């Protein structure tokens, strides 16, 4: 059995706690490795080493830091297949999906090559008599990233790249379910020329998280996960005087207007709702057709598409649409919520509960499920299922559909499919959701914009990646400067002082 490590000061270091978490192969249900769970003392020691390394790294000029980022990006690209294999092996997603996971992280790394421009301050000459005013952006020091299981490459890269490009040291705690990708990325960063200690990877559970939140050296914490844990981390970090950006759960709706191209809408719903087994914070989990005729036609088009989805391991010889979910507990929870939907009166038009794959009976596979006639009072509507389940809530009018989205406690992403520009513009303007797609099902912004939700999907006032990342990982210092040698009373310039 492979025993994984932490990555400390540029080397793999065994844990000393004696506690381990099982790392499963979700396709087979077998334990394939054990990852160490760090104690508070281990975390504190790792943070202290990061603080030592950060002092020298902060003095490296931004252009030279950007060169390390550039080499890191090239190494990620060169090792794309290896990294995708690690993602698939521990998460279970298909290889094309895993490559997409790595690619979307790489795109943020590429934007961080522009760190010298992102870190420029402002300057005002002669703000007063002989007075110059300027600001500078400086790194915070040591920052922490706490990342989830569903994107083992992308979200760690979203955290580490801008933090390190800005001159900080990063202590990354990946999900203990998928630790290997973060360890591999740390090796590549070292190969790119990052000094030892600037990126530390510590594996752990709640004890390690709390240690990071309570450690006085940690200046900021970035988190992605469920809403209850996002609220907990945000509150504890803020109480300890730290900056925090914490991104939580979602219940993303897609409104389908009567004038929409229903074939395109159905294809988009299937891809956005069932890709990666629905384990995406930007997955579409609720379809909202407007009008009974629209709903009937949409369901008619969805059923054969959902029934034809192929589920299997990433190692399958034939192409599969999605793989297993992350754990047996996740599988049981998803099936339990589907049961609750049936019990509470929703119509289950495609049933994925009894799915079984020959040769992989112990794997964590869940078949695709499609519901119709779901209402907002049902558990399958209120809960973030995080599985291959699409619920259809019928709306009588556009305003009813908009109100449904507006009244959701979550506000990560939403989409509308329509042929009418006025409707699309009105929806984008009025809806209280952080990311909006118009005839686009998963509106994740490109890496030179910024990613973030509203309401209970996000806590903190700055988003991930893009310009906001550099604002989050730096603090602004403003200097007011005056020199007296060339100034005489009255503010007139003394030319003799130039001689």
Predicted local confidence at residue 498, as pLDDT: 41
CA atoms within 13 A on the CB side of 3: 9
Using one digit for the tens of pLDDT, what is the confidence trace for 234-293? Answer: 999 999 999 999 999 999 999 999 999 999 999 999 999 999 999 999 999 999 999 999
- Distance between CA atoms of 267 and 262, rounded to whole angstroms? 8
- Sign of the C-alpha dihedral computed for residues 486, 489, 492 and 494 taken in this order: negative
What's the pLDDT band for 205 if we cut at 50, 70, 90? very high
The tokens describing 437, both together, are 């797609």
Residue 18 CA, chain-centre distance (Å), reads: 30
> In this structure, are residues 126 and 112 in contact, taking their beta carbons and an 8 Å threshold?
no
Q: How many other β-carbons are positioned within 10 Å of the β-carbon of residue 362?
A: 13
Higher pLDDT, 153 or 127: 153
> In this structure, are residues 331 and 322 in contact, taking their beta carbons and an 8 Å threshold?
no
Give the residue from 288, 278, 263 showing the smallest Cα distance to 401. 288
- Distance between CA atoms of 316 and 371, rounded to whole angstroms? 28
Give Cβ neighbours of residue 426 (< 8 Å, ≥ 6 apart). none
Max CA pair span of the chain = 93
The residue behind tokens 């069932």 is: 274
| Mean predicted confidence (pLDDT) in 317-339 | 96
So which residues are the catalytic ones?
281
Predicted local confidence at residue 1, as pLDDT: 82
Using one digit for the tens of pLDDT, what is the confidence trace for 23-70? Answer: 999 999 999 999 999 999 999 999 999 999 999 999 999 999 999 999
The C-alpha R_g of the chain, in whole angstroms, comes to: 25
- Distance between CA atoms of 418 and 438, rounded to whole angstroms? 8
Helix (H, G, I), strand (E, B) or coil at 359: coil
Q: How many other β-carbons are positioned within 10 Å of the β-carbon of residue 60?
A: 15
> Phi/psi zone of residue 466: left (φ > 0), alpha (ψ -120 to 50 degrees), beta?
left
Predicted local confidence at residue 495, as pLDDT: 46
Q: Kindly report the length of the chain.
A: 499
- Distance between CA atoms of 75 and 257, rounded to whole angstroms? 45
Q: Which domains does the chain have, with CATH numbers?
A: 2-248+457-479 (3.40.605.10), 252-438 (3.40.309.10)
DSSP state of 387: S
| Mean predicted confidence (pLDDT) in 314-324 | 94
Give the residue from 132, 124, 123, 122 showing the smallest Cα distance to 487. 132
The tokens describing 34, both together, are 């054990």
Using one digit for the tens of pLDDT, what is the confidence trace for 106-131? Answer: 999 999 999 999 999 999 998 888 89
Using one digit for the tens of pLDDT, what is the confidence trace for 373-400? Answer: 999 999 999 999 999 999 999 999 999 9
> In this structure, are residues 132 and 161 in contact, taking their beta carbons and an 8 Å threshold?
no
- Distance between CA atoms of 457 and 483, rounded to whole angstroms? 50
Give the residue from 91, 80, 89, 215 showing the smallest Cα distance to 157. 80
Mean confidence (pLDDT) of the chain: 95
Judge residue 40's burial from the number of C-beta atoms within 10 Å of its C-beta, 0-12 exposed, 13-18 middle, 19 or more buried. Answer: middle
> In this structure, are residues 113 and 298 in contact, taking their beta carbons and an 8 Å threshold?
no
DSSP assignment string, 185-243: HHHHHHHTTPPTTSEEE---SHHHHHHHHH-TTEEEEEEES-HHHHHHHHHHHHHTT-E
| Residue 7: strand pairing partners | 12, 201
What's the pLDDT band for 22 if we cut at 50, 70, 90? very high
Using one digit for the tens of pLDDT, what is the confidence trace for 401-421? Answer: 999 999 999 999 999 999 999
Q: Kindly list the strands in the beta sheet with 2-3, ordered across the sheet, starting from the edge strand earlier in the chain.
A: 2-3, 30-36, 20-25
- Distance between CA atoms of 142 and 140, rounded to whole angstroms? 7
Q: What percent of the chain has pLDDT over 90?
A: 95
The tokens describing 481, both together, are 């400067």
Give the residue from 18, 190, 182, 25 showing the smallest Cα distance to 92. 25
pTM: 0.94
Give the residue from 168, 191, 249, 296 showing the smallest Cα distance to 456. 249
Distances (CA, A) of 488 to 126, 225, 433, 498: 15, 61, 57, 12
Predicted local confidence at residue 486, as pLDDT: 56
- Distance between CA atoms of 61 and 101, rounded to whole angstroms? 30
Distances (CA, A) of 217 to 29, 137, 347: 39, 19, 53
């Amino acid at each position: 059995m492979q025993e994984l490590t932490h990555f400390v000061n540029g080397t793999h270091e065994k844990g000393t706690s004696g506690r381990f978490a099982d790392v499963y192969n979700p396709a087979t249900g077998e334990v394939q490795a054990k990852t160490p769970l760090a104690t508070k003392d281990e975390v504190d020691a790792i943070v202290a080493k990061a603080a030592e390394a950060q002092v020298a790294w902060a003095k490296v000029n931004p252009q030279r830091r950007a060169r390390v980022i550039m080499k890191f990006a090239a190494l990620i690209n060169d090792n794309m297949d290896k990294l995708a294999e690690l993602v698939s092996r521990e998460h279970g997603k298909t290889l094309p999906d895993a490559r997409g996971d790595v690619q979307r992280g790489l795109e943020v790394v590429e934007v961080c090559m522009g760190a010298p421009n992102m870190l420029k301050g402002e300057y005002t000459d002669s703000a007063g008599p002989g007075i110059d005013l300027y600001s500078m952006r400086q790194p915070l020091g040591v920052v922490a990233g706490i990342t989830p299981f569903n994107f083992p490459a992308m979200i760690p890269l979203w955290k580490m790249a801008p933090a390190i490009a800005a001159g900080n040291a990063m202590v990354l705690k990946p999900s203990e379910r998928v630790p290997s990708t973060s360890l591999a990325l740390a090796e590549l960063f070292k190969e790119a020329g990052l000094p030892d200690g600037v990126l530390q990877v510590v594996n752990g559970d709640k004890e390690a998280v709390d240690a990071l939140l309570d450690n006085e050296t940690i200046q900021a914490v970035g988190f992605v996960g469920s809403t209850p844990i996002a609220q907990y981390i945000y509150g504890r970090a803020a109480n300890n005087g730290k900056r925090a950006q914490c991104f939580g759960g979602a219940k993303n709706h897609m409104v389908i207007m009567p004038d929409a191209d229903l074939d395109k809408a159905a294809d988009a719903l299937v891809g956005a709702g069932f890709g990666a087994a629905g384990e995406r914070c930007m997955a579409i989990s609720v379809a909202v057709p407007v009008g009974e005729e629209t709903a009937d036609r949409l369901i008619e088009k969805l059923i054969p598409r959902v029934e034809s989805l192929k589920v299997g391991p990433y190692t399958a010889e034939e192409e599969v649409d999605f793989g297993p979910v992350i754990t047996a507990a996740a599988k049981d929870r998803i099936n339990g919520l589907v049961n609750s939907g049936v019990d509470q009166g929703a119509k289950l038009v495609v049933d994925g509960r009894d799915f079984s794959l020959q040769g992989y009976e112990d794997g964590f596979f869940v078949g695709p499920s499609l519901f119709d006639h779901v209402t907002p009072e049902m558990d399958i509507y209120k809960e973030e299922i995080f599985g291959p389940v699409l619920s259809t809530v019928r709306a009588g009018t556009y305003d009813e559909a908009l109100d449904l989205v507006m009244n959701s406690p979550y506000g990560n992403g939403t989409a509308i499919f329509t042929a009418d520009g006025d409707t699309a513009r009105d929806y984008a303007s009025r809806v209280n959701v952080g990311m909006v797609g118009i005839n686009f099902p998963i509106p994740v912004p490109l890496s030179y914009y910024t990613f973030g939700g509203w309401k209970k999907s996000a806590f903190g006032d700055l988003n991930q990646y893009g310009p906001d990342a550099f604002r989050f990982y730096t603090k602004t210092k403003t200097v007011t400067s005056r020199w007296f040698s060339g100034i005489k009373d009255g503010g007139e310039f003394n030319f003799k002082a130039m001689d």
